[in-house]
Amino acid sequence: MSYRTQQYADEGRPWFEAVAGAAVVFRSREIADPKGVLSQAKPGEDRKTAVGDEMPPEAIGEAIEQYVRQLYADWADQPLPVLDGKTPREAIHTADGLEQVKFLLHTYEHGEAQQAKAQQRPAVSYEFLWQELGITP
């Protein structure tokens, strides 16, 4: 995790550990000036973190999937501005609403596929949201 100030880091750590659970382990604290670090980097230098080097892509994918499932646990029943304030569950009762929800889910899946590819990890499946609504792609 990265925070702007040490105070934010101290305040954010308990929250982050509660969200991530056993997926993370505190190893150390490093205080660095980002401008200084970036100014020292050589062009084309690989900027992987120690955590990224040690953690297998599958484990990273599992941790992200766990977080996504928690984040979207009540998504189907939350009003969304993009659906004119309707919940996805309400919106799917009309043909236009169903298409909007499907488009939204495909957008989530596409964004996740791009992130997973860039991070060289397995993509998180959003199938659980399709199933929650009882619809198919």
Domain range summary for the chain, segments of one domain joined by +:
1-47, 48-137
Give percent of the chain above pLDDT 70: 78
pLDDT at residue 117 tops 80: yes
Contact by Cβ (8 Å): 88, 133: yes
- Cα-Cα-Cα-Cα dihedral sign, residues 2, 27, 21, 129: positive
Contact by Cβ (8 Å): 92, 98: yes
pLDDT at residue 89 tops 70: yes
What is the model's pLDDT at position 45? 58
Give the residue-averaged pLDDT of 17-21: 74
What is the model's pLDDT at position 29? 72
Please tell me which residue, 62 or 55, carries the higher pLDDT value: 62
pLDDT at residue 7 tops 60: yes
Compute how many other C-beta atoms are within 10 angstroms of the C-beta atom of residue 85.
10
What is the model's pLDDT at position 51? 45
pLDDT at residue 46 tops 60: no
Q: Look over the chain and give the mean of its residue pLDDT values, rounded to a whole number.
A: 83
pLDDT at residue 34 tops 80: no
What is the model's pLDDT at position 53? 54
